[in-house]
């Protein structure tokens, strides 16, 4: 059996009165991540982990922030497109492990919904998706609530 691992990272600015989508879930918060698509930092990190594992470059290569086709698009759609790219090369997803770093809002109550959205979008079990969160202990741009960061690792296997 051939397996590979991938690592992904993403960061977005937080802006007041902007929608905050994380893991495909709209969060109630006074600010939200800003970007070309829906700026879902968690899904972007997962996309990059999957693409990297399959040696398919990165999310910016496939979904340029200068291409109007991706303006405002749900990152769940981008994730589905990434999984199609992997499938075209004969890869399936083993598991995903992700970490989000932000001061607020607390995302623990939303993790089950995030896992559900991701699992449904890419047809894997929720048991194969781990999402964790931490703060930055009020240090740096994350601590000042100026941005949000996500990291993800994945395992893919030849099918």
Flag whether 67 is marked binding: yes
Q: Is 10 annotated as a binding residue?
A: yes
- The pLDDT score that the predictor gives to residue 100 is 98
Is residue 1's pLDDT more than 80?
A: no
The 10s digit of each residue's pLDDT in 127-153 is 999 999 999 999 999 999 999 999 999
Asked if residue 19 belongs to a known ligand binding site, the reply is no
Residue 120 labelled as part of a binding site: no
pLDDT value at residue 30: 94
- 65 assigned ligand-binding residue: yes
Cα–Cα distances (Å) from 85 to 35, 51, 56, in that order, read 23, 8, 8
55 carries a ligand binding annotation: no
Question: Does 134 belong to an annotated binding site?
Answer: yes
What total of structural domains would you count in the chain?
Answer: 1
Any binding-site annotation on 141?
Answer: yes
Which ranges constitute the DSSP H helices of 41-94? 41-53, 59-62, 75-88
136 labelled binding-site residue: yes
Q: What is the CATH number of the domain that holds 142?
A: 3.30.1330.50
pLDDT tens track for 48-103: 999 999 999 999 999 988 988 899 899 999 999 999 999 999 999 999 999 999 99
pLDDT digits (tens, 9 = 90+) for 19-62: 999 999 999 999 999 999 999 999 999 999 999 999 999 999 99
To the question of whether residue 44 is assigned a binding role by annotation, the answer is yes
Q: How far apart are CA 126 and CA 148, in angstroms?
A: 24
Query: Cα angle vertex 143, ends 12, 132, to 5°?
Result: 70
The answer to whether 57 is a known ligand-binding residue is no
| Residue 58 labeled ligand binder | yes
User: Looking at the whole model, is its pTM more than 0.95?
Assistant: yes
Report whether 63 belongs to an annotated binding site.
yes
Instruction: Please report the beta strands in the chain, taking only residues with DSSP state E, as ranges in sequence order.
Output: 3-16, 20-22, 25-27, 31-34, 91-101, 129-134, 147-158
Q: Which residues form the domain of 34?
A: 3-158
- At residue 154, the pLDDT reads 98
Looking at residue 79, its pLDDT comes to 98
Q: Do the annotations mark residue 35 as ligand-binding? A: no
């Amino acid at each position: 059996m051939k397996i590979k691992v991938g690592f992904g990272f993403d960061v977005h600015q937080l802006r007041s009165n902007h929608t905050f989508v994380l893991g495909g879930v709209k969060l109630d918060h006074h600010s939200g991540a800003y970007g070309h698509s829906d700026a879902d930092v968690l899904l972007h990190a997962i996309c990059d982990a999957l693409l990297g594992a399959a040696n398919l470059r990165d999310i910016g290569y496939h979904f340029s922030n200068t291409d109007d086709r991706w303006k405002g698009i749900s990152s769940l759609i981008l994730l589905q497109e990434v999984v199609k790219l992997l499938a075209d090369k004969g890869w399936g997803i083993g598991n995903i492990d992700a970490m989000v770093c932000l001061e607020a809002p607390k995302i623990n109550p939303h993790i089950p919904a995030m896992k559900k959205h991701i699992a449904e979008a890419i047809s894997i079990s929720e048991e194969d998706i781990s999402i964790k969160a931490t703060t930055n202990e009020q240090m740096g741009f994350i601590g000042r609530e100026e941005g949000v960061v996500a990291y993800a690792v994945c395992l893919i296997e030849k099918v």
